[in-house]
Amino acid sequence: MPKKNIQKTKSIKKDSGIKSAREKMIGQHIGYRYDVNLLPDYKKLTPFLKKYIEHMGWDDLNWLEDVHMGYENGKPAVFDRNINGWVTTPPKMKLPKNQQDRDMIARELLIKFQMSPNHPLVVLKKAYQKKD
């Protein structure tokens, strides 16, 4: 993972960005706090992601192009569409300032989370999956 421009995750202000009267009234942000349309910079690809792309037989990041490091309750987090929820980064993890580097870390974390035997879907599938 990239180590340049390291900053502590604690320094990210909780709920910073609630500014307009409408946002204050509803108590949450309107819109995103990061660029959801940012295209990935392939020069920042990590070795783990290269291996994943090779394993899947793809030419590039494919669906991971849409994965970015976002926020949940003011903490850095990545959204997992399979559970429709946010996964916060480990508390001790230090994140770079650059969004491209942060996004690559988010992609790596998400793959590890989704493929983990501890992923909530494993338990849910055991309980509810239809059998042929």
- In whole angstroms, the minimum distance from the beta carbon of 61 to another protein comes to 10
Beta carbon nearer to another protein, 18 or 56: 56
Q: Is 56 left (phi over 0), alpha (psi -120 to 50) or beta?
A: alpha
- In the chain, the DSSP E strands lie at 6-7, 69-72, 75-80, 85-88, 95-96
Structure tokens at 16: 């910073």
At closest approach, how far in Å is the CB of 5 from another protein?
19
Cβ-based nearer residue to another protein, 16 or 82: 82
Q: How far is the CB of 48 from another protein (least distance, A)?
A: 7
Residues pairing with 119 in the sheet: none
Q: How far is the CB of 99 from another protein (least distance, A)?
A: 12
Neighbours of 6 (CB within 10 A): 11
Rank residues 51 and 97 by Cβ distance to another protein and give the closer one: 51
Q: Which residues bind another protein (CB under 8 A)?
A: 22, 30-31, 36-37, 39-42, 48, 51-52, 55-60, 62-66, 72-73, 75, 77, 80-81, 83, 85-91, 93, 109, 111-128, 132
Between 97 and 125, name the residue whose CB sits nearer to another protein.
125
- Please give the structure tokens belonging to residue 53: 């792309």
| Cβ contact 41:100 at 8 Å | yes
